Amino acid sequence: MANWVTFGRFLLLFVLLAIIYSGLPALQLVNAPLTILIIALDGVDGWVARRFGEESLFGATFDIAIDRIVETVLWVVLAHLDFIGVWIPLLFIIRGNLVDAIRSKGAAAGTAAFDMMQSPIGRFLVAGRFMRGFYAVLKAVTFAWILAWQPFPILAPDFWAANGAWLTGIGLALAWASAAICIARGLPVIIEFCANAGPNAQEKT
């Protein structure tokens, strides 16, 4: 059942994209709540897996893959709509590819992604529930905040003319904070992988 919840998040992402690009401002008012629902379900599938004893390497890998798809697509969409700079989705894509390539080595050996972290700082930043939750909430707030205001230039032009600048500024600050946490959580994975590889490790192509 947990994997079906994860798959449901994937389907809801396409519903959200259809609404964002619908050109219907009144419909776009659901951008924020739908975004929050999609990201909140990430916690639900984990709870379901633990509650019903469905935890597995496949489930953990599938969950991370959908997480990556959701966040990457939303960052790209925000950049495409000129809400954020293109460097932000590029950062997430580069970091995501590096980390996922490293985690694939662990998956091949039967080790779940978060179990790969050995150092205390790595376990706290990458595998710890607090940081995972904080990061998820930060991204949810960032996506929801920016998308919440998408229809306002048309639905409430006077309000947007008076408040759009600072509302947009808050969205950018949230996006930059998300990018900073993205780097902070990615570096321990890369550093520990390089350290464990050893000086005599040979790269295979």
Q: Give the rounded percent of residues in the chain with a pLDDT score beyond 70.
A: 77
In a domain, 117, yes or no: yes
The pLDDT value given to residue 205: 41
The pLDDT value given to residue 157: 96
In a domain, 204, yes or no: no
**Number of compact structural domains in the chain:** 1
In a domain, 202, yes or no: no
Instruction: State how far the alpha carbon of 200 is from the alpha carbons of 23, 32, 195, in Å.
Output: 56, 50, 11
The pLDDT value given to residue 152: 97
User: pTM of the full predicted structure?
Assistant: 0.81
Highest mean pLDDT pick, 35-39, 84-88, 107-111? 84-88
Quick one: tokens of 48?
A: 């379901």
Residue 174: phi, psi to the nearest 5?
-65, -40
Render pLDDT for 109-134 as a digit per residue (tens, 0 to 9).
555 555 566 678 878 888 788 888 89
| pLDDT exceeds cutoff 70 at 51 | no
Could you tell me the CATH number of the domain that includes residue 45? Answer: 1.20.120.1760
Distance CA 165, CA 148 (A): 14
* Residue 115 domain boundaries: 2-197
Residue 49 — very low, low, confident or very high, per pLDDT cuts 50/70/90?
low
200 or 163, which is more confident:
163
In a domain, 111, yes or no: yes
Burial class (CB in 10 A: 0-12, 13-18, 19+), 78: buried
In a domain, 98, yes or no: yes
In a domain, 205, yes or no: no
Q: What is the mean pLDDT of residues 36-52?
A: 71
Give the lowest-confidence range in 31-40, 55-64, 148-157.
Answer: 55-64
Distance CA 6, CA 10 (A): 7
